[in-house]
Amino acid sequence: MSDSRTTITFARGDGIGPEIMDSTLEVLRAAGARLDYEEIEIGEKQYLAGNTSGIGPEDWKTLQRNRIFLKSPITTPLGSGYKSLNVTVRKSLRLFSNVRPCRAYAPYVSTNFPDIDMVIIRENEEDLYAGIEHQQTDEVVQTLKLVSRPGCEAICRYAMEYARAYGRKKVTCLTKSNIMKHTDGLFQKVFEEIAKEPQYSDIETEHRIIDIGAALVAAHPEDLDVIVTLNLYGDIVSDIAALVAGSVGLAGSANIGFDAAMFEAVHGSAPDIAGKDIANPSGLIHAATKMLVHLDQGDVAEKIRNAWLKTLEDGIHTADIYKESLSKEKVGTKAFTQAVIERLGQKPTVFEPVAFANKGIRIELPEHPPREKKLVGIDVFIDWTDSDRDPDVIGTRLQACNGDGLKLKLITNRGVKVFPEGLKETFCTDHWRCRFILEEGLEKCSHSQISSLMLRVANAGFDFIKTEHLYTFDGERGYSLAQGE
């Protein structure tokens, strides 16, 4: 537990944001949180004033200085040209981990799965969210999926440390490594390396393919504990989980980095109920308790969380969860806030009281010696529609470009081998991946050999649209084999 005070940045946001932030700050103050506060303005007004990422330059400086951000939801104006504030903050402050607990509060909140209590830990900076996309031919577009070893190490270690800190029993890693052997394969490999470390020996670990993993989240969520996964899968799975738990309006999330963090409710700015004193402030209150744990003020977090559970048990409910059979009193945002404050120091009796003995989680990344990288070939992508797209024609013409130690090994179309000896049934688009590799007996080639090859391909009249170098790292193949290779 830390006695020192921390200055945090907070923003009231849009819609119901100001009401739920006022409620949360009141609870924090009443509970004795050791915090000082600096307010910034984010959201719609900033967007409309011409700050395309929803935050002004001065406010950005405040955020960078304090590095702890409690954020209300914002309304993103309709129309293009606005950048997501969340993505900007995540990337700029290197908030690599998104943590979304997902639990049921039965019988007070309806759910088919009263025993759900899982946490989804999602990689936050990489994967398909790099948004690097290109139209390469008339028929084919592509997006780049980028996954790094340090990125995998940070998130997988964070998940294992989280499980340890919160006494969780099992960590499930979800990937599609059976198909994406290099990107998702790296994530799985790093997870398995870290999971084997002796300090995690009492935590059960497993890897599952994302399809069955997502189905499990929907059908047997109570069997899952901590999930760690890549950005896109985490995005999808956390919404499935929130829906089956029935408590999306109550959940808070944390975006954690090495020396910065952002905490917010999972829901949006709910403009339909803004300014009416009916919004449920619980999501932001939960986000704030996560912030306190992160700041090593688990004692205050515990007090707030137990008071909140007691309020729920006592049947004091906002309109979104009110049920005549279970609730005692339907209250607005302000009255709910007062009810929580009155219960500070009390413990729930139906729900298990929480105890946050742990500190915020800090991780360090290991350094790895660089591996020996050898250039062993090139994939040349060609836009080609001549000769009724006959693979044997493009193959024979490209073989004429062989030389200087490099020869055509195969051609694929959308990943399927079509030359040599393709199947005539395979549908061919205008996008051909032509793999040139080193001749037998050669160990590596140079960039000038690759350049000469490209010149021969261009002189043969081919429209090459992109290339990917083929490397080995310490002798290990750094590229996927084609289907049928």
268 binds ligand NAD (CB under 6 A): yes
Residues 2-31 interacting with ligand NAD (rule: CB under 6 A): 16
DSSP state of 445: -
| Side-chain half-sphere exposure of 292, counting CA atoms within 13 A | 30
Among 264, 296, 299, 379, binds ligand NAD (CB under 6 A): 264
Measure the CA–CA gap between 64 and 361, rounded to whole angstroms.
20
**Type of residue found at 381:** F
Q: What does the block give as tokens for 295?
A: 């700041």
Among 55, 63, 74, 242, binds ligand NAD (CB under 6 A): 74
Q: Identify the burial level of 11 via C-beta atoms within 10 angstroms of its C-beta, where 0-12 means exposed, 13-18 middle and 19 or more buried.
A: buried
279 binds ligand NAD (CB under 6 A): yes
Q: What does the block give as tokens for 457?
A: 């391909």
59 binds ligand NAD (CB under 6 A): no
For ligand NAD, give the closer residue by CB, 279 or 398.
279
Q: Could you tell me how many residues of this chain bind ligand NAD (CB under 6 A)?
A: 19
Determine the angle formed by the axes of helices 298-313 and 282-294, rounding to 10 degrees. 160
Among 54, 151, 249, 377, binds ligand NAD (CB under 6 A): 249
269 binds ligand NAD (CB under 6 A): yes
Residues 156-195 interacting with ligand NAD (rule: CB under 6 A): none
For ligand NAD, give the closer residue by CB, 101 or 249.
249
422 binds ligand NAD (CB under 6 A): no
377 binds ligand NAD (CB under 6 A): no
109 binds ligand NAD (CB under 6 A): no
Q: Which residue is closest to ligand NAD by CB?
A: 268
283 binds ligand NAD (CB under 6 A): yes
Residues 312-341 interacting with ligand NAD (rule: CB under 6 A): 320
Buried b (16+ CB within 10 A) or exposed e, 430-461: bbbbbbbbbeeeeeebeeebbebbbebbeeee
Minimal distance, residue 143 CB to ligand NAD, in Å: 23
> CA of 245: how far to CAs of 151, 211, 239, 360, in Å?
29, 19, 10, 25
Among 272, 364, 367, 443, binds ligand NAD (CB under 6 A): 272
Minimal distance, residue 85 CB to ligand NAD, in Å: 7
Percentages of the chain per state (helix, strand, coil), in multiples of 5: 35, 25, 40
DSSP state of 146: B
274 binds ligand NAD (CB under 6 A): no
Q: What does the block give as tokens for 267?
A: 């829901």
Could you list the residues that contact ligand NAD (CB under 6 A)? 16, 73-76, 86, 249, 264, 267-273, 279-280, 283, 320
